[in-house]
Amino acid sequence: MVRLMTPRRRTWLLSGIPRSGSSLCCRLAGQAADTVALTEPISEAMIEGFADQADACAGIEAFARRTRTRILREGRAPALHVDGALVDDLLSDGAASGLRQARSRRGDIAIARPLSKRFTLVIKHNALFAALLPRLRRQFECLGLVRNPLAVLASWHSVDLAVRRGRVPVGERFDPGLAGVLAAEPNPLRRQVAILDWFFQQFATHLPQGRIIRYEEVVATGGVALHRALGVAAPPTEALASRNANPLYSADAVAELLKALAAGRRAWAGLYSLADCEQLAATLLAKGAPG
């Protein structure tokens, strides 16, 4: 039986490893009854204005309160969107450079559905919430989304985002330890592996096992695994297709990524085995790689 939300537990923060399917999960969460889900609604300017971790957590709490009130009064809320809608992927299919570009913009979206005063609100920000997780978990219910490490690394190499260069600016700003590790590493791929390890370590350290959701499980259950974790009644299941084995890379590139993963700290070992990554590599060597 699904455990329904109590009034104290009606705002959730969703963090995910970049390119782990967090935008997909945000859309799926928003399909549940009496639920609103928002993809990265907090503006860069607001984030830049936070003085430190404590100020950021206070600011996020105030933002959540204001947003809940505005949704009920105006039927609108800020979010990253494409043509006014939450979508599964915020990046384009490709560009002249061969890298996928951002196609979303931040602005108000309409919330045109019946809601109770105690509706469930889900807010998604990846690096921001991951960096602040030790504090945020005391104020909010939190979820962490993960994905096969090899699929994540391969996807990072296909996008025009900071993580492709081995940087995660918001995470570095609020976690000096991460900033120090990345500043000391000259190799972009090794920085990427360090970022991957950091996300997994943040989730493993600061979230109970039931609050860490695997992308593969979300896809396999048609979103039910996500709704179960949120404690909301699931809408009709949706047929979802995994993108872990989308063709993209040469055999040499896949082998290089797998070697880098094997040489890292493997903070992901509690959720994925090296055999899981090797199995995906074998699939990619037969096809190409993920996007």
User: Is the pLDDT score of 5 beyond 90?
Assistant: no
User: Is the pLDDT score of 146 beyond 90?
Assistant: yes
Taking only the tens place, the pLDDT of each residue in 58-93 is 999 999 999 999 999 999 999 887 776 666 565 446
Taking only the tens place, the pLDDT of each residue in 222-242 is 999 999 999 998 888 888 888
For range 191-211, the mean pLDDT:
97
How far from each other are the two terminal CA atoms of the chain, in whole angstroms? 35
How high is the pLDDT of residue 4? 38
Residue 228, helix vs strand vs coil:
helix
User: Is the pLDDT score of 45 beyond 80?
Assistant: yes
236 versus 101: the higher-pLDDT residue is 236
Q: What is the CA radius of gyration of the chain?
A: 18
User: Is the pLDDT score of 8 beyond 50?
Assistant: no
Determine the Cα–Cα distance for residues 33 and 116; give it in Å rounded to an integer: 10
Determine the Cα–Cα distance for residues 248 and 265; give it in Å rounded to an integer: 26
Comparing CA positions, the residue from 155, 145, 242, 157 lying closest to residue 199 is 145
User: Is the pLDDT score of 119 beyond 60?
Assistant: yes
Look at 140-144, 184-188, 249-253 and tell me which has the smallest mean pLDDT: 249-253
188 versus 283: the higher-pLDDT residue is 188
185 versus 5: the higher-pLDDT residue is 185
- The amino acid at residue 61 is E
User: Is the pLDDT score of 170 beyond 80?
Assistant: yes
For range 245-272, the mean pLDDT:
86
How high is the pLDDT of residue 103? 55
How high is the pLDDT of residue 10? 87
Q: For the chain, what is the largest distance between any 2 Cα atoms, rounded to a whole number of angstroms?
A: 55
165 versus 93: the higher-pLDDT residue is 165
How high is the pLDDT of residue 288? 54
Show the domains of the chain with their CATH numbers.
7-287 (3.40.50)
**Cα angle value 11/198/43 (rounded, 5°):** 45
User: Is the pLDDT score of 9 beyond 70?
Assistant: no
